[in-house]
Structure 1
Amino acid sequence: MSVRLRAGAVALVAASALVLTACTGTAPETRTGGADRTTGSASPSVDGAAQQRGVAALGAVTKTTAGSMRLADGLVPPTNRWFSGLVYGAAPQPVFPTPISWQVTDDGFAAGLPVVSATEKTIAGGAVQQVGLDLGADRTLVSAYDQVSVTVEHRKGSTVLGHTVLAQGSPLVSYTAERAQTTTATGPVTATGDGPDGTTTGTVAADGRTWGVVTSGDLDGSRIALPRGGTVVLFPVPDDATSQQVRALSAAAASPLQRVTLARSSTGSATDGEQRTALGYRTAARGDTVVVPQPGQGATGLDCTGLHYATITGAAPVCTGDVLRFAAPSLQADDRLDLSDLSSTERERLTAQVRADAGDVSEASFGADSYGGGKDLYRVANLYRLATQLDLDDVATGLRGQLVAQIDQWTDPDGCGVSGTRCFRYDDTVKGLVGQAPSYGSDEFNDHHFHYGYLLSAAAIVADGSDELVAKWRPVLDLVAADIASPEATAVFPELRVYDPYAQHSWASGYSPFADGNNQESSSEAVSAWNGLARWGAVSGSRATEQLGDWLLANEAVSAQRDVLDPDLRAFPGFEHTIVSLNWGGKRDHATWFSADPAAPAGIELIPMPAVATGYVAAGGKRQIARVLAEAVPEGDYAVQFGDYLLMYRALASGAEAKAALAAAEELPAEHIDTGNTRSYLLAWIMSRG
């Protein structure tokens, strides 16, 4: 989640069939072979011309919110990235290409290995300036990027001085001179020997940290004379590294990083398979480099040194190689609760509740903004699904009619000309859809996956089995899906707008105007969004959309388990909580944007509890669920914000806990049932767990 106030390792074999994408704006690379199910093909999978016709039919936003951008001509503006703060706002913000921090200075740049500390509610690893180069620059812009790396261009006036490449999972700061120049390091460089291919190695120390230096230029104290095309590569020396290990890391760091490719594939079925990811770290010499997997991500195929960097997620291994490979267990995208084991008494009780909740649905039940309106559609769609499962044909028919009328408005290209809300317009500057009216900064591209995931989920439920509805809604809903997760960059949308393949989770802030980097709060709404994407792909007949949704769903769920719901916090004894509810590039918080209530941090990581949540939410089992609930509802009183979702979470602990949760859900005051939920769905969810 971004700024908003809201109530409401498994091996990847080298021969796998993979789909790779490289720098934005370039054609995708491909690698074939093996027997894995591949999530795309070498040919373009997106009809860019159809997208252009679609957004032209929607019409343009009245005014973009982007302002001036530090971005090279011809690039699709990168919203929702770990480096978006370099592009938007009055001045470039620090960024956090794990494991380091990096920031623009008045005349060049500075990097640091953050010093990690923990307090009661925060694990901090903010930006630090330990080493850098004075280039004589007076401005920067982003000149290239891909899903994992960014290239920053340094200029003095209109003269391009050089480029710096940074990437998630790389400790390297790779600078290449565009013209002959003399740069000045922030401290004296002590030469330590000769590196590969005529380079010189050295070290520079500042603030208790030693950094390695590898350059093709001439060293003279703190001055480095570079020819055109000359390079300087900086990296933090890990604690306890021997001189031999430093030499080995220097050799691996000698060739500047240029870009990172992304490959994804899957094996097996959605219930017992894997969603695989390979990140290829490409250097100028196309050899091995230094790669730093996240803690718990695995190091398949890498040569790890036994050294580590301290990061806000724990001790990260320092390895060499050229591809980071990891896998996430597949989850079956699902929007249907299993009611087959309900007793006759439970079915009667649920039937009565569905009828009661359906009687409260009217045209006034649906909000006009993309978040509130999306949640309303999702709430009623789940109620409709329950009615169909309980054979309540009269109720289902009435609910379906109201849902179709509402989704018709959202998917009408001329809808904005009718009501001005419940519709989308296209921001041609930022290249994306904006729901009218905006909510929680959605016109600044905040939280699009949260908002649009609800709409896709609802549409998939209602259109399931109806070719007519799919044909009517697909022109706009495919654009909605592409806004948050286009499988490739087009002239209309960026590739995978919000998702970070290295972090394995999404970023929620569009422009990221923060000194702590980008952030995401509601991991659960992100998981729900990808579940909705996969279900819309299945219902609409788009295998590519379904497969992309499956990959995103599995990875976001792994991150939610590892980083949020059941994190390994042993390295941070000062942190006194059981979950981490707000994750940034430079820190992790037990907090929310919208409430200081103790129930809020847990609740925001559970909403909206789709059927697929049972596959990952109970991370840590009964013990962790008990610990989380002891913090969220210390008095055992669920009459709080998100009390409904906390009861659903409680039901995952055991049969006895499900029984107790059901009794409490029956008595929960209506005002404590979230706007994306109904008492019917609350009861059905818990009953299906019993």
Structure 2
Amino acid sequence: MTRRAHAMRLVAPALALAVTLSACTGSGTGPERATSATTPTSATSATSAAGVASLAEQKIGPLVRSLGSRAGADLKPVRLASGLTPPTNRWFSGLVYGATAQPVFPLPLSFGLTGGGFAVGLPEVDATDKTIMGGYRPVIQIGAGADSWKITRYDEMSVTLTGSAGGTEIGTVTIARGSPFVTFRASGRRTLTTNLPFTGSGSPWSLQAGEDRYDLTGSRGVSVSGGAVTVPDGGHVTLYPEPEGGDAAALARLAASPLRSTASSYRLSGSTATTRLAYSTDDGSPTAIAALPHQQAGLATGQHCDLGSYRSVLGTMKLCRGTALSWDTKTRPATAQLDLSGLADDQRAALRTQVDADVRALKPYPADTYFGGKALYRDAQLYTLAKQVGASSSATTLKSRIVEQLTKWADPSGCGSRTSLCFYYDRSNKGMVGLTHSFGSEQFNDHHFHYGYFLYAAGVMAADDPSLVKRWKPVMTLLAADIASPTDTGTFPQRRTFDPYSSHSWASGVSPFGDGNNQESASEAVNAWVGLGVWARAAGDPQLAAEGTWMQALESDSQLAYWTNFDTDDPVYKGFGHSITPLVWGGKRDYATWFSPEPAAALAILLIPMNPASGYLGTDPKRVATNLKEAMGTRGYRQTYGDLLLLYSALQGSSQRDAAVKQVASLTSIDDSLTRSYILAYLYALKF
């Protein structure tokens, strides 16, 4: 299990910059529209491949040394070559960790290691009432004579595995996100065997696997005879499935030059984030790249996507030609404060009374990184609210409480003198870990969920009191580097959890699953990048704020596209009986959660923590109503998670907001990311 028995229990418009990194939106309603703009407004020049200067190794290295390190858990990266940064939380992590390699889903293909070789196949996408399945389908099994495989190169979207036999390298296999091509390069003359025979007298050769047809191209000197493929020393072969409605001849030409590597870049201009995914081939020629539904909505002018289509668990993919895939996404402010400027006197008085009551009811902080960070986030929101409504005594109490607790967490030497409330650097697995673990955080599960709360709380408090920045900056910078380093520095991997191709994060550290990696709480992933932006602004770091803006834009867009607002007219959803998918995997999507079978939980996990920037969830008010209908059942809002459902319901419009205000006093449970006063203030802040 990656995520949890979960946390939700009773218990810049004017910013313009381009960032190059190695390695659909719509107008929403909600607090983000009601607040003043909080994205950076000063123009920033283009940055270099180093990306964010504050997260460069020359800045990060000394901070790690001052913090101190420990040997971490043995995550068993048995198929990772020495010298590579451990790739936790990746779409391909299952290939790296554990005694047995797990299948992965580069899409449109599935891929797995099988004894001495590897297997590939288009997933057979089929929907039942609660699951959209497109799992591992090893229809073409290729024997390569290897007795071991190691990942010897990877970047954000592509992976190269090297096979060996008796200690001698036999060749490499390269796969990539969005590429229909799987390429084997031979070291020495090698003969591959296949379970199905190829036909044809020359490149491309073809075979039929059920209803799907696969082609094989090769370099000079390749020969094919039935199920035997002989590749000369230094030569290569590329296997790929033909798309529906495609041009086989055009695809064969694109397959001729193998893929070498990939890289992502982005540019922020006005309210638009332009993402570019570059695919480099041996000779620099164009290749084939499959665009996912969320990318298709904003594809760049001149992007040619006429090569056919593939079915996937995320919807119909369109196959494009080019050296890169580029699309636009709407950006959204990393808002950290509700706009209460329009409060009536009686509303302000009611809020002041409720804030005082909520402060009196506060309990000691939890010691783990999830609940501890979440409680700090909650209190930082409450502190801001207390100041806004004139609850000065409560504000003083909250500031003292929050600053004292965050100062403990942000003490670089904390783990040398305490048994909790501190972070250390895990030198084995290259990342920051809280001394009190939660939900497998020592195995690198959920770091973005946890650390987003800390960054958010620290950013809110430091914006209020800039003297706190210097005190907290070393540890907060390391938390930011853990989840958002724009490059692989060797100390931290490149953007540990974030996958620019799918435009969302992966929650499991080592992904020990046959269906690939997964993510449940997409809204907490969005909150992570909002938190990153809030901290970056308080710390005076516009480059880091830009990084957060980009990831927030993509993560919120993908949440709508695959978790809460997907296009049910796409054929992939035929037979699926629900309007949300709480768990999105590489090879399937489930109407299920890790922690509860309740319909209310299935939706609530996609809403938490309903921060002031969560108005994107209300992009389509009709879909909000549809999603709520099943979640509420006959129990309404007087149930566990009813508070989150109530906040979501208000995004439909003014009448629903007014009705929600009347329901606040009768709520029977309040999530530990919220307070009753924040719920009321959020509703008051909505503008329609």
TM-score interval w.r.t. the shorter chain? Answer: over 0.9
Q: CA deviation at 1:18?
A: 4.2
Shift of 1:206: 2.1
Match in the other structure for 1:4: 4
Cα 1:37/1:314, change in 2 over 3 Å: farther
Residue 491 of structure 1 deviates from its aligned partner by 2.4
Give the C-alpha shift of residue 395 in structure 1: 1.6
Deviation at 1:302, TM superposition (A): 2.9
Matched residue, 2:473:
474
1:46-125 counterparts in 2 under 5 A? Answer: 46-61=55-70, 63-125=72-134
Do the aligned residues in 1 keep the contact of 2:591 with 2:602 (CA within 8 Å)?
Answer: yes
Which residue is equivalent to 1:196?
Answer: none
C-alpha distance in 1, partners of 2:434/2:393? 32
How far off its partner does 1:601 sit? 1.0
Query: Would the aligned equivalents of 1:37 and 1:267 in 2 still touch at CA under 8 Å?
Result: no
Shift in Å, 1:2:
2.5
Residue type at the aligned position of 1:3: R
Aligned alpha-carbon RMSD (Å): 1.7
Give the match for residue 231 of structure 1.
Answer: 236
Equivalent residue runs for 1:429-468 within 5 Å: 429-468=428-467
1:683 maps to a residue whose letter is L
1:292 alignment counterpart: 290
CA–CA distance in structure 2, aligned partners of residues 305 and 274 of structure 1: 25
Question: Is residue 495 of structure 1 aligned with residue 494 of structure 2?
Answer: yes
Cα gap change, 1:279 to 1:589, in 2 (>3 Å) = same
Counterpart AA for 1:543: P
Change (3 A) 1:455 1:683: same
Partner of 1:264: 266
| Deviates most, 416-425 or 229-238 | 416-425
What are the residue-to-residue correspondences of 1:197-596 with 2, within 5 Å? Answer: 200-216=203-219, 217-241=222-246, 245-268=247-270, 273-298=271-296, 299-300=299-300, 301-305=302-306, 307-362=308-363, 364=364, 366-570=365-569, 571=571, 572-596=573-597
Q: 1:637: which partner in 2?
A: 636
The CA deviation string for residues 262-289 of structure 1, in whole angstroms up to 9 with x for no partner, is 1111111xxxx11111011111121011
Name the counterpart of 1:688.
Answer: 685
Instruction: Tell me, in whole angstroms, the C-alpha distance in 1 between the residues paired with 2:241 and 2:307.
Output: 15
| 2:138 partner letter | Q
Residue pairs, 1:161-180, within 5 angstroms: 161-180=170-189
2:138 maps to what in 1?
129
Question: What is the SS of the residue equivalent to 2:538?
Answer: helix
Quote the offset at 1:489 in angstroms: 1.4
Q: How many residue pairs align between the two structures?
A: 653
* Change beyond 3 A, Cα 1:89–1:352: same
Counterparts of 1:649 and 1:63 in 2: how far apart (Å)?
Answer: 40
Residues 348-381 of structure 1: CA deviation (Å, up to 9, x unaligned): 111100011111235x1x1100001001101111
In structure 2, C-alpha distance between the alignment counterparts of 1:182 and 1:3, rounded to whole Å: 43
Distance 2:20 2:224 in 1: 39
Q: CA deviation at 1:296?
A: 3.7
- Tell me the alpha carbon deviations over residues 412-432 of structure 1, each in whole angstroms, 9 at most, x when there is no partner: 112123321111111111100
Shift of the alpha carbon at 1:183? 1.4
In 1, the alpha carbon distance for the partners of 2:255 and 2:141 equals 16
SS at match of 2:651: coil
Equivalent residues of 2:50, 2:56 under 8 A apart: no
Residue 38 of structure 2: aligned partner:
none
Query: Which piece of structure 1 moves more, 300-309 or 331-340?
Result: 300-309
1:148 aligned residue? 157
Q: Identity, % of aligned pairs?
A: 41
Q: Deviations over 1:480-513 (max 9, x none)?
A: 1100111211121011110000000000001000
By how many angstroms is 1:43 displaced?
4.9
Please give the alpha-carbon distance, in whole angstroms, between the structure 1 residues aligned to 2:293 and 2:354: 46
Q: Give the match's secondary structure for 1:397.
A: helix
Q: Secondary structure in 2 aligned to 1:67?
A: coil
Unaligned runs of 5+ in 2: 9-15, 24-42
Out of 94-103 and 302-311, give the one that drifted further.
302-311
Aligned-partner SS, 1:541: coil
Q: Could you tell me which residue of structure 2 aligns to residue 676 of structure 1? A: 673
Do the aligned residues in 1 keep the contact of 2:560 with 2:617 (CA within 8 Å)? Answer: yes
Partner of residue 35, structure 2: none
User: TM-score, length-normalised on structure 2?
Assistant: 0.92
Q: How far, CA to CA, are the matches of 2:417 and 2:638 in structure 1? A: 40
Q: Quick one: which amino acid aligns to residue 538 of structure 1?
A: R
Distance 2:128 2:102 in 1: 24
Distance apart, 1:192 and its partner CA: 5.3
Q: Distance in 2 between matches of 1:302 and 1:202?
A: 29
CA contact (8 A) 2:294 2:558 kept: no
> Does the C-alpha gap of structure 1 residues 42 and 80 become closer, same or farther in structure 2, counting only changes over 3 Å?
closer
Q: Partners of 1:673 and 1:465 in 2: how far apart?
A: 26
State which drifts further: 67-76 or 650-659.
Answer: 67-76
- Paired with 1:184 and 1:610, the residues of 2 have a C-alpha distance of 55
Task: Please say if residues 37 and 265 of structure 1, whose CA atoms lie closer than 8 Å, have aligned partners that are also in contact.
Answer: no
Contact persistence 1:172–1:234 (CA under 8 A): yes
SS of match in other structure, 1:144: strand
Shift of 1:148: 1.0
**Structure 2 Cα separation of the partners of residues 295 and 345 of structure 1:** 47
- Tell me the distance in 2 between the aligned counterparts of 1:676 and 1:640: 16
1:61–1:434 CA contact under 8 A, matched in 2: no
Residues 37, 266 of structure 1: 8 Å contact kept: no
Following superposition, the deviation at residue 465 of structure 1 comes to 4.1
In structure 1, distance between residues paired with 2:339 and 2:17: 34
> Given residue 552 of structure 1, which amino acid in structure 2 is its aligned partner?
M
Q: Is the 8 A contact 1:38 1:266 kept in 2?
A: no
- In the alignment, is the contact (CA less than 8 A) between 1:22 and 1:259 conserved in 2? no
SS at match of 1:632: helix
Deviation, structure 1 residue 180: 1.6
In structure 1, how many angstroms separate the alpha carbons of the residues matched to 2:358 and 2:397? 12
Contact 1:39 1:266 (C-alpha < 8 Å) held by counterparts: no
CA contact (8 A) 1:537 1:545 kept: yes
Q: Structure 1 628/561 Cα, relative in aligned 2: closer, same or farther at 3 Å?
A: same
Distance 2:129 2:50 in 1: 51
Native 8 Å contact 1:264 1:276 kept in 2? yes
Code of the residue aligned with 1:612 in structure 2: it is: A
Q: Hey, what's the Cα distance between the residues in 2 that align with 1:233 and 1:224?
A: 11
CA contact (8 A) 1:312 1:586 kept: yes
Aligned amino acid, residue 281 of structure 1 = Y
Q: Which residue of 1 aligns with 2:194?
A: 185
Secondary structure of 2:285 counterpart = coil
What residue in structure 2 maps to residue 604 of structure 1?
605
2: CA distance between counterparts of 1:151 and 1:544? Answer: 31
One-letter amino acid of the counterpart of residue 384, structure 2: R
Q: Tell me, what secondary structure is at the counterpart of 1:279?
A: strand
Contact 1:131 1:211 in 2 (8 A): no
Moved more, 493-502 or 66-75: 66-75
